[in-house]
Every structure is written in structure tokens, then in C-alpha cells.
Amino acid sequence: MRISILGLGALGRVFAASLAQTEHQVHLHVRGERGAHAMLEGLAVDGGPMNHVPADRFLFTCEELERPPSFDQRSDLVIFATKSYTIPSLLDVASSLLKPDGVALALSNGLGHPETLGRALGPHRVVAATTTHGAYMGAENTVVWAGKGAIQLARTPLGPSSERLEAIFTVFERAGLAPSMNEDAATMLWNKVLLNLAINPIAALAGLQNGELLAPDRFDTCMMVYREAVRVARMERITVPDEQEFEHALRAVLNTTAENQCSMLQDMKAGRKTEIDALNGALVDLAEAHGVSVPVNQLLATLIRACHP
């Protein structure tokens, strides 16, 4: 099997290094200085199964160079390991790489990614996925695998066969990425997004580590975000956790990742664009479509955009 990874940020590197421990071909589509460094030096992952994976373990293509025809329609699996806002720019690349019966999935935060992939690639080639693996870029192009989590997979409506999904599950299992299967793709995605909505913009605006959101006043604000979001989810006919269940899950995540800086805070500190449009911004759009007011989420989205348009 050939696996293509689009995006070589921290999470993409964790998946690439882990998949490199399997018997499968791993193709990395890279760009910029970091991509060039990976093509020459390979990948360094602190906390992974190997501290260093040599460059010759991977196949490479580069955004800045013409892609050889030998890569066309050769990939069994394409993984979008990118920020949510870069997915549209990589759809043509994924379309050219995928075999006719290949499968694509996105690890990006936010809502609507399976639908976006489905419109471009065909719904029969899209799997829903979420991940709780956490990583960040350290010194000298080294990735720190800060939190070993899991990857959840679910079949989307009109999606690939159960056999194809099982094959992907097996690949991730052999790579040590702790996969699990979920019966309801929409619920799986919303459960992850609810946590992102409640944590990321508040931590980013306040400049706080995750554990600092456990302070009573901050935690109450997180729960206000949830209460607004759950109204929209129910209008979308999504089954979501009740308040007590969500509060328990949120406390568990904040305790487990207490010393972590969420990805949105990392992006803001680095002056990068954030994923707010795919998170609280997307929730606001859905709320408006249903005639529902979500003022806390709207304020958070507005403030994040004001900091980094």
C-alpha cells in the first residue's frame, strides 16, 4: 500500500514517522524550507518509536516543483495532515494521487472536512477521522510527540466499503497510532469539535496552558461555549453528550493536557493564521442558518480574527 501525507507540520511528521515503521510505502508532499530539510535529512521525532527516520525511507514530492507522472493514481490512502484552511488548495493534488478506489481522510480540526473532500474526490473515497495525538515543533526541526492519543475512524454516508475501512484501521494499528472505529461519523466529529470550541479560543486569547482553564471562572466560560454549541448540534440532528458527560470529558482533557499549549495559541504566538473559521466561526454560520443566537462563540471568533485576520 502507498500512503501519501499532505502537510508536514508536527502532526504530519508524527504520522509519517509512525507509518514508516510499517511495510507500506510512505509518500510525503512537502513545501518550503522545512520540506526541503526533510527531503535531505529525514524526520526527527522526540517520543516516537524511532528518534530519527532517514529521508530514504520516504518518497517525496515538492509543492514548488513539478510532480512526476509516476505518482499519478498510485496512492491507496491520502492523509490531509494540514491546517483546515489549506485543505482546499490541496484537493487537486489529492485527486491526482489517489487510485480510483483509494481513500482520503483529514486530521484537521473543525467541521465540514468530509463534505469538502467528498465534493472534490467523491463521497465513496472519503473516511471521517479525528485524532487526539498531540505534537509540536521543537528545536532544529525536531517534533516533540507531546501526547500519545488515538485516531478514530468512521464510515461516512456513501463512503468506502467496510473492507477498505478495515484495511486502513490495520495500517494505523501496525503503526502504533491506536485506531478505533466509530459507528456514527457525525457524532464522532462533533464530540471532538465541542472540545476544540470550548478550549482553543479561550486559551489562545488568554495565553494560557490548557490546565489553567480549570480555574472556576474560566471553566464556566468553556461550558457557556458548549451550551451554545449543543443547541446548534441538536438543530443539525447530531447526538452529542449531555452537560454532565461533557463537563467530565472536558475536565479529563484539561487535566491530561494541563501543560500543553493548544494549537490555536501556538499559531497566534507564531503569527500564523488560526483555524477559527473551521471551529467557532463555522458554528456561528450554522447557528445563523438555523436562526439560533450564539453570542459567546461569535465574540470569540471575532476576537481571534481581530488578532490574526
pLDDT at residue 308 greater than cutoff 80: no
State the pairing for strand pair 75-80/2-6. parallel
| pLDDT per residue as tens digits for the range 115-164 | 999 999 999 999 999 999 988 888 878 888 887 889 999 999 899 999 99
> What is the reported pLDDT for 134?
85
> What is the reported pLDDT for 219?
98
Q: Confidence band (pLDDT; 50, 70, 90) for 209?
A: very high
Helices within 207-290 (DSSP H only): 216-235, 243-256, 263-269, 280-290
Please give the helix or strand (H or E) that residue 188 lies within, else none: helix 185-206
142 and 237 co-located in one domain = no
193 and 174 co-located in one domain = no
pLDDT at residue 247 greater than cutoff 90: yes
271 and 140 co-located in one domain = no
| pLDDT per residue as tens digits for the range 20-37 | 999 999 999 999 998 999
199 and 174 co-located in one domain = no
Q: Confidence band (pLDDT; 50, 70, 90) for 309?
A: low
Helices within 87-130 (DSSP H only): 87-97, 113-121
| pLDDT per residue as tens digits for the range 149-206 | 899 999 998 999 999 999 999 999 999 999 999 999 999 999 999 999 999 999 999 9
Nearest Cα to Cα of residue 268 among 222, 237, 296, 300: 300
CATH code at position 248: 1.10.1040.10
> What is the reported pLDDT for 256?
87
Mean pLDDT of the chain: 94
Domain finish residue from 156, 183, 210: 183
Domain finish residue from 163, 183, 203: 183
The range of the structural domain enclosing residue 227 comes to 187-307
276 and 176 co-located in one domain = no
195 and 207 co-located in one domain = yes
> What is the reported pLDDT for 260?
86
| pLDDT per residue as tens digits for the range 268-284 | 998 999 999 999 999 99
CATH code at position 110: 3.40.50.720
Mean pLDDT of 86-106: 97
12 and 32 co-located in one domain = yes
256 and 142 co-located in one domain = no
30 and 127 co-located in one domain = yes
8 and 114 co-located in one domain = yes
41 and 170 co-located in one domain = yes
67 and 54 co-located in one domain = yes
pTM for the full model? 0.93
* Interatomic CA distance for residues 198 and 301, integer angstroms: 12
* Interatomic CA distance for residues 50 and 52, integer angstroms: 5
| pLDDT per residue as tens digits for the range 213-238 | 999 999 999 999 999 999 999 999 99
What total of structural domains would you count in the chain?
2
